[in-house]
Amino acid sequence: MAPSPTGTTSAPPSDARPVRPRYAAAGRKTVWLTFDDGPHPRHTPKVLEVLSAHGVRATFFMIGRNARLYPGIVERVAREGHGIANHSWSHPNLAKLPADRVRAEIRQTETVLSPHMGARRLFRPPYGAHNATVDAVVASLGYRTILWNVDTLDWSRAYQPDRWVDHGLAQIAARPSSLVLAHDIHKTTAAHLDSFLRRIKAIRGATFGKPDALWG
Protein backbone atom coordinates (compact mmCIF):
# COMPACT_ATOMS: atom_id res chain seq x y z
CA MET A 1 0.00 0.00 0.00
CA ALA A 2 1.15 3.55 -0.74
CA PRO A 3 1.68 6.20 1.98
CA SER A 4 -1.10 8.76 2.30
CA PRO A 5 -0.36 12.51 2.10
CA THR A 6 -0.32 12.54 5.91
CA GLY A 7 2.30 9.83 6.06
CA THR A 8 -0.04 7.00 7.04
CA THR A 9 -0.96 4.00 4.93
CA SER A 10 -4.36 3.88 3.24
CA ALA A 11 -6.17 0.87 1.83
CA PRO A 12 -6.92 0.88 -1.92
CA PRO A 13 -10.53 1.26 -3.08
CA SER A 14 -12.43 -2.01 -3.20
CA ASP A 15 -12.78 -1.79 -6.98
CA ALA A 16 -9.17 -0.88 -7.65
CA ARG A 17 -7.24 -2.88 -10.24
CA PRO A 18 -3.52 -2.74 -10.83
CA VAL A 19 -2.42 -0.72 -13.84
CA ARG A 20 -0.59 -2.73 -16.47
CA PRO A 21 1.12 -0.37 -18.93
CA ARG A 22 1.35 -1.53 -22.53
CA TYR A 23 4.86 -1.24 -23.83
CA ALA A 24 6.06 -1.59 -27.42
CA ALA A 25 7.14 -5.17 -27.89
CA ALA A 26 10.89 -5.58 -27.71
CA GLY A 27 12.44 -6.99 -30.86
CA ARG A 28 9.38 -6.25 -32.99
CA LYS A 29 10.16 -6.29 -36.72
CA THR A 30 8.14 -4.40 -39.32
CA VAL A 31 8.30 -5.67 -42.89
CA TRP A 32 7.02 -3.69 -45.86
CA LEU A 33 6.67 -5.57 -49.13
CA THR A 34 7.13 -3.77 -52.44
CA PHE A 35 6.97 -5.12 -55.98
CA ASP A 36 8.54 -3.41 -58.98
CA ASP A 37 8.17 -3.40 -62.76
CA GLY A 38 4.65 -4.72 -63.25
CA PRO A 39 1.93 -5.25 -63.83
CA HIS A 40 2.42 -8.60 -65.55
CA PRO A 41 -0.60 -10.35 -67.12
CA ARG A 42 0.07 -13.75 -65.48
CA HIS A 43 2.42 -13.27 -62.55
CA THR A 44 0.89 -10.20 -60.91
CA PRO A 45 -2.52 -11.90 -60.45
CA LYS A 46 -0.76 -14.87 -58.83
CA VAL A 47 1.12 -12.52 -56.50
CA LEU A 48 -2.19 -10.90 -55.57
CA GLU A 49 -3.73 -14.28 -54.78
CA VAL A 50 -0.90 -15.15 -52.41
CA LEU A 51 -0.99 -11.76 -50.69
CA SER A 52 -4.74 -12.10 -50.21
CA ALA A 53 -4.39 -15.58 -48.72
CA HIS A 54 -1.96 -14.19 -46.13
CA GLY A 55 -3.85 -10.97 -45.48
CA VAL A 56 -0.82 -8.91 -46.48
CA ARG A 57 -0.89 -5.61 -48.34
CA ALA A 58 2.01 -4.46 -50.47
CA THR A 59 3.01 -1.49 -52.59
CA PHE A 60 3.36 -1.96 -56.34
CA PHE A 61 5.77 0.40 -58.13
CA MET A 62 4.45 0.19 -61.67
CA ILE A 63 6.02 0.99 -65.01
CA GLY A 64 3.71 3.29 -66.95
CA ARG A 65 3.86 1.35 -70.21
CA ASN A 66 2.89 -1.88 -68.47
CA ALA A 67 0.10 -0.22 -66.52
CA ARG A 68 -1.33 1.16 -69.75
CA LEU A 69 -1.39 -2.34 -71.25
CA TYR A 70 -3.13 -3.97 -68.28
CA PRO A 71 -5.52 -1.45 -66.71
CA GLY A 72 -7.69 -4.23 -65.28
CA ILE A 73 -4.81 -5.51 -63.18
CA VAL A 74 -4.03 -1.99 -61.98
CA GLU A 75 -7.63 -1.63 -60.87
CA ARG A 76 -7.52 -4.99 -59.12
CA VAL A 77 -4.36 -4.05 -57.21
CA ALA A 78 -6.08 -0.89 -55.96
CA ARG A 79 -9.36 -2.65 -55.23
CA GLU A 80 -7.63 -5.21 -53.02
CA GLY A 81 -6.11 -2.50 -50.85
CA HIS A 82 -2.53 -2.40 -52.08
CA GLY A 83 -0.57 0.75 -52.72
CA ILE A 84 0.15 1.87 -56.28
CA ALA A 85 3.20 3.99 -56.98
CA ASN A 86 5.17 5.49 -59.87
CA HIS A 87 8.21 3.67 -61.30
CA SER A 88 8.69 5.75 -64.48
CA TRP A 89 7.26 5.20 -67.95
CA SER A 90 9.95 3.08 -69.60
CA HIS A 91 12.42 2.15 -66.81
CA PRO A 92 15.49 4.17 -67.91
CA ASN A 93 18.41 5.15 -65.72
CA LEU A 94 17.07 8.57 -64.77
CA ALA A 95 20.42 9.71 -63.42
CA LYS A 96 21.65 9.81 -67.02
CA LEU A 97 18.77 11.96 -68.28
CA PRO A 98 18.17 15.73 -68.25
CA ALA A 99 15.49 17.17 -66.01
CA ASP A 100 12.87 17.49 -68.74
CA ARG A 101 13.15 13.80 -69.63
CA VAL A 102 12.94 12.78 -65.98
CA ARG A 103 9.82 14.91 -65.59
CA ALA A 104 8.25 13.38 -68.70
CA GLU A 105 8.87 9.83 -67.46
CA ILE A 106 7.08 10.57 -64.21
CA ARG A 107 4.28 12.67 -65.65
CA GLN A 108 3.39 10.19 -68.40
CA THR A 109 3.12 7.39 -65.86
CA GLU A 110 1.02 9.64 -63.67
CA THR A 111 -1.58 9.99 -66.42
CA VAL A 112 -2.22 6.23 -66.17
CA LEU A 113 -1.87 5.69 -62.43
CA SER A 114 -3.27 8.94 -61.05
CA PRO A 115 -6.81 7.62 -60.33
CA HIS A 116 -5.32 4.95 -58.08
CA MET A 117 -2.46 6.71 -56.31
CA GLY A 118 -4.33 9.06 -54.00
CA ALA A 119 -2.95 12.31 -52.62
CA ARG A 120 0.23 10.80 -51.19
CA ARG A 121 2.42 9.87 -54.14
CA LEU A 122 5.46 7.63 -54.01
CA PHE A 123 8.19 7.23 -56.60
CA ARG A 124 10.97 4.70 -56.99
CA PRO A 125 13.66 5.46 -59.56
CA PRO A 126 14.55 2.49 -61.78
CA TYR A 127 17.64 0.65 -60.48
CA GLY A 128 17.50 2.99 -57.50
CA ALA A 129 19.52 5.42 -59.63
CA HIS A 130 19.06 9.06 -58.67
CA ASN A 131 21.04 12.26 -58.34
CA ALA A 132 20.40 15.89 -57.45
CA THR A 133 18.52 16.48 -60.70
CA VAL A 134 16.24 13.49 -60.23
CA ASP A 135 15.62 14.32 -56.59
CA ALA A 136 14.69 17.90 -57.43
CA VAL A 137 12.24 16.87 -60.15
CA VAL A 138 10.63 14.22 -57.96
CA ALA A 139 10.14 16.70 -55.13
CA SER A 140 8.79 19.39 -57.44
CA LEU A 141 6.11 17.00 -58.67
CA GLY A 142 4.98 16.23 -55.12
CA TYR A 143 6.40 12.72 -54.84
CA ARG A 144 8.38 11.05 -52.10
CA THR A 145 11.27 8.82 -53.21
CA ILE A 146 11.18 5.32 -51.72
CA LEU A 147 14.11 2.94 -52.12
CA TRP A 148 14.70 -0.29 -50.13
CA ASN A 149 17.02 -1.89 -47.59
CA VAL A 150 16.31 -5.54 -48.45
CA ASP A 151 17.00 -6.70 -52.02
CA THR A 152 15.76 -10.25 -52.50
CA LEU A 153 17.62 -10.48 -55.84
CA ASP A 154 14.63 -12.39 -57.16
CA TRP A 155 15.50 -10.88 -60.55
CA SER A 156 18.92 -12.56 -60.65
CA ARG A 157 19.34 -15.95 -62.31
CA ALA A 158 21.81 -16.85 -59.57
CA TYR A 159 18.98 -16.60 -57.01
CA GLN A 160 16.28 -18.40 -58.97
CA PRO A 161 14.12 -20.32 -58.66
CA ASP A 162 13.94 -19.96 -54.85
CA ARG A 163 17.33 -18.94 -53.45
CA TRP A 164 15.98 -15.39 -53.29
CA VAL A 165 13.73 -16.50 -50.43
CA ASP A 166 16.65 -17.40 -48.14
CA HIS A 167 18.57 -14.33 -49.27
CA GLY A 168 15.69 -12.02 -48.40
CA LEU A 169 14.92 -13.71 -45.09
CA ALA A 170 18.52 -13.42 -43.90
CA GLN A 171 18.38 -9.66 -44.42
CA ILE A 172 14.99 -9.30 -42.73
CA ALA A 173 16.17 -11.27 -39.69
CA ALA A 174 19.17 -8.96 -39.31
CA ARG A 175 17.30 -5.65 -39.02
CA PRO A 176 14.36 -4.22 -37.06
CA SER A 177 12.68 -2.62 -40.07
CA SER A 178 12.70 -4.01 -43.60
CA LEU A 179 11.63 -2.41 -46.85
CA VAL A 180 11.71 -5.38 -49.19
CA LEU A 181 12.30 -5.17 -52.94
CA ALA A 182 10.82 -7.93 -55.10
CA HIS A 183 9.37 -8.06 -58.61
CA ASP A 184 5.92 -9.21 -59.71
CA ILE A 185 7.08 -9.84 -63.29
CA HIS A 186 8.95 -13.08 -62.52
CA LYS A 187 7.33 -16.51 -62.49
CA THR A 188 9.74 -17.68 -59.79
CA THR A 189 8.74 -14.82 -57.50
CA ALA A 190 5.05 -15.61 -57.84
CA ALA A 191 5.71 -19.33 -57.38
CA HIS A 192 7.67 -18.99 -54.13
CA LEU A 193 6.00 -15.96 -52.55
CA ASP A 194 3.82 -18.14 -50.33
CA SER A 195 6.91 -19.74 -48.79
CA PHE A 196 8.52 -16.34 -48.35
CA LEU A 197 5.52 -14.94 -46.47
CA ARG A 198 5.13 -18.01 -44.29
CA ARG A 199 8.74 -17.82 -43.24
CA ILE A 200 8.55 -14.09 -42.52
CA LYS A 201 5.59 -14.77 -40.25
CA ALA A 202 7.65 -17.39 -38.43
CA ILE A 203 10.27 -14.77 -37.46
CA ARG A 204 9.66 -13.77 -33.86
CA GLY A 205 7.97 -10.38 -33.61
CA ALA A 206 7.62 -9.89 -37.36
CA THR A 207 4.62 -7.90 -38.60
CA PHE A 208 3.75 -6.55 -42.02
CA GLY A 209 3.53 -2.78 -42.44
CA LYS A 210 0.68 -1.16 -44.33
CA PRO A 211 1.37 0.70 -47.58
CA ASP A 212 0.18 4.05 -46.19
CA ALA A 213 2.94 4.01 -43.60
CA LEU A 214 5.60 4.35 -46.30
CA TRP A 215 4.75 8.02 -46.72
CA GLY A 216 5.38 9.25 -43.21
**pLDDT tens per residue, the chain (216 residues)?**
444 444 445 555 555 566 555 444 445 799 999 999 999 999 999 999 999 999 999 999 999 999 999 999 999 999 999 999 999 999 999 999 999 999 999 999 999 999 999 888 999 999 999 999 999 999 999 999 999 999 999 999 999 999 999 999 999 999 999 999 999 999 999 999 999 999 999 999 999 999 988 876
Whether 192 sits among the annotated catalytic residues: the reply is no
- Output 142-146 pairs: Cβ under 8 A, ≥24 positions apart: 143/86, 143/106, 144/120, 144/215, 146/34, 146/59, 146/61, 146/85, 146/122, 146/179, 146/214
Strand partners, 143: 121
Q: What is the pLDDT of residue 13?
A: 58
Distance CA 100, CA 193 (A): 38
Strand 121-123 versus strand 150-151 pairing type:
unpaired
Task: List the one residue out of 214, 188, 201, 216 whose CA is nearest residue 43.
Answer: 188
Q: Which of 36, 151, 154, 184 is catalytic?
A: 36
Which of 171, 182, 183, 179 has the alpha carbon at shortest distance from 213?
179
Q: What is the pLDDT of residue 119?
A: 84
Does the active-site annotation cover 183?
yes
Give the closest residue to 30 by CA, choosing from 178, 192, 187: 178
Which CATH superfamily does the domain covering 29-208 fall into?
Glycoside hydrolase/deacetylase (3.20.20.370)
pTM, whole model, 2 decimals?
Answer: 0.87
Catalytic residue, chosen from 87, 116, 183, 192, is 183
Domain ranges of the chain: 29-208
